[in-house]
Amino acid sequence: GAVVSQHPSRVICKSGTSVKIECRSLDFQATTMFWYRQFPKQSLMLMATSNEGSKATYEQGVEKDKFLINHASLTLSTLTVTSAHPEDSSFYICSARVLTGAENSPLHFGNGTRLTVT
């Protein structure tokens, strides 16, 4: 089955530093990847849509200069949290879809990254 790999699984960083999270589609190409954020005991909120070779599309309220997304290849998207603050501490999950031509492909999710900013 389709596999999405996310790295790192956990990261602790100091306030003011930047953290990069990688999302890879291991056995398929993904022109689009989706980044979600999940607060403790809450649902997943879409942050942005990452498009290979073009700018990401951010959801309302998500700061594009703080959450930098780069989708440089068909198998890799990165999310960089810049100048991290404690309120950025959260669980970040990426996802991608195998495009089969049918409009019913589910999203495949990475295992998430637990970011803790101290």
Partner 1 sequence: AQSVTQLGSHVSVSEGALVLLRCNYSSSVPPYLFWYVQYPNQGLQLLLKYTTGATLVKGINGFEAEFKKSETSFHLTKPSAHMSDAAEYFCAVSEGGNTPLVFGKGTRLSVIA
Stretch that binds partner 1, among 14-22, 41-49, 71-79, 81-89 (CB under 8 A): 41-49
Stretch that binds partner 1, among 14-22, 67-75, 79-87, 109-117 (CB under 8 A): 109-117
Which residue among 20, 52, 74, 91 contacts partner 1 (CB under 8 A)? Answer: 91
Give, in degrees to the nearest 5, the angle at Cα 80 between 34 and 109: 30
Does 28 help bind partner 1 (rule: CB under 8 A)? no
Termini Cα distance of the chain: 37
Q: Are 21 and 110 in contact (CB under 8 A)?
A: no
Q: Are 30 and 88 in contact (CB under 8 A)?
A: no
Does 117 help bind partner 1 (rule: CB under 8 A)? no
CA dist., res. 5 & res. 52, Å (int): 17
Q: Which is nearer to partner 1, 66 or 109 (CB)?
A: 109
Nearest Cα to Cα of residue 115 among 77, 84, 83: 84
Binding footprint of partner 1 on the chain (CB under 8 A)? 4, 6, 9, 31-32, 34, 41-44, 46, 49, 91, 93, 95, 97, 99, 102-104, 106-112, 114
